[in-house]
Amino acid sequence: METQVLTPHVYWAQRHRELYLRVELSDVQNPAISISENVLHFKAQGHGAKGDNVYEFHLEFLDLVKPEPAYRLTQRQVNITVQKKGSHWWERLTKQEKRPLFLAPDFDRWLDESDAEMELRAKEEERLNKLRLESEGSPETLTNLKKGYLFMYNLVQLLGFSWIFVNLTVRFFILGKESFYDTFHTVADMMYFCQMLALVETLNAAIGVTNSPVLPALIQFLGRNFILFLVFGTMEEMQNKAVVFFVFYSWSAIEIFRYPFYMLSCIDMDWKVLTWLRYTMWIPLYPLGCLSEAVAVIQSIPVFNESGRFSFTLPYPLRMKVRFSFFLQVYLVMLFLGLYINFRHLYKQRRRRYGQKKKKLH
Asked if the structure places residue 35 within a domain, the reply is yes
Q: What is the predicted pLDDT for the residue at 137?
A: 55
Residues 6+ apart with CB under 8 A from 325: 301, 302, 304, 305
Residues 298 and 176 in one domain: yes
For residue 307, which phi and psi values (nearest 5 degrees)?
A: -80, -25
Mean pLDDT of 241-267: 93
Q: What is the predicted pLDDT for the residue at 134?
A: 64
User: Catalytic residues, which ones?
Assistant: 286, 293
Q: What is the predicted pLDDT for the residue at 5?
A: 65
Asked if residue 317 has a cis previous peptide bond (ω within 30° of 0), the answer is yes
Answer with the one of 110, 133, 152 that is the final residue of a domain: 110
Distance separating alpha carbons of residues 18 and 16, to the nearest angstrom: 6
Say if residue 190's pLDDT is above 70.
Answer: yes
Residues 263 and 324 in one domain: yes
Asked if the structure places residue 332 within a domain, the reply is yes
Say if residue 151's pLDDT is above 90.
Answer: yes
Asked if the structure places residue 336 within a domain, the reply is yes
Say if residue 3's pLDDT is above 70.
Answer: no
Distance separating alpha carbons of residues 69 and 34, to the nearest angstrom: 7
Residues 309 and 169 in one domain: yes
| pLDDT per position as a tens digit, 295-331 | 999 999 999 999 888 888 878 777 788 888 889 999 9
Q: What is the mean pLDDT of the chain?
A: 88
Tell me the residue range of the domain where 73 lies. 10-110
Alpha helices of 198-281 — where are they, by DSSP H? 199-207, 214-225, 236-239, 243-266, 272-278
Mean pLDDT of 277-283: 88
What CATH number does residue 50 fall under? 2.60.40.790
Distance separating alpha carbons of residues 292 and 283, to the nearest angstrom: 15
Residues 198 and 304 in one domain: yes
pTM value surpassing 0.75: no
Say if residue 253's pLDDT is above 60.
Answer: yes
Asked if the structure places residue 181 within a domain, the reply is yes
Asked if the structure places residue 178 within a domain, the reply is yes
Asked if the structure places residue 130 within a domain, the reply is no
Asked if the structure places residue 321 within a domain, the reply is yes
* Partners of 32 in beta bridges: 43
Total count of domains within the chain: 2
Which of 47-61, 255-269, 306-320 comes out lowest in average pLDDT? Answer: 306-320
Which of 140-154, 250-264, 289-303 comes out lowest in average pLDDT? Answer: 140-154
For residue 49, which phi and psi values (nearest 5 degrees)?
A: -65, -25
Q: What is the predicted pLDDT for the residue at 356?
A: 53
Question: Is the Cβ–Cβ distance between 246 and 227 less than 8 Å?
Answer: no
Residues 235 and 348 in one domain: yes
Residues 23 and 168 in one domain: no
Please classify residue 338 by burial: count the beta carbons closer than 10 Å to its beta carbon, then call 0-12 exposed, 13-18 middle and 19+ buried: buried
Residue bearing the bigger pLDDT, 138 or 2: 138
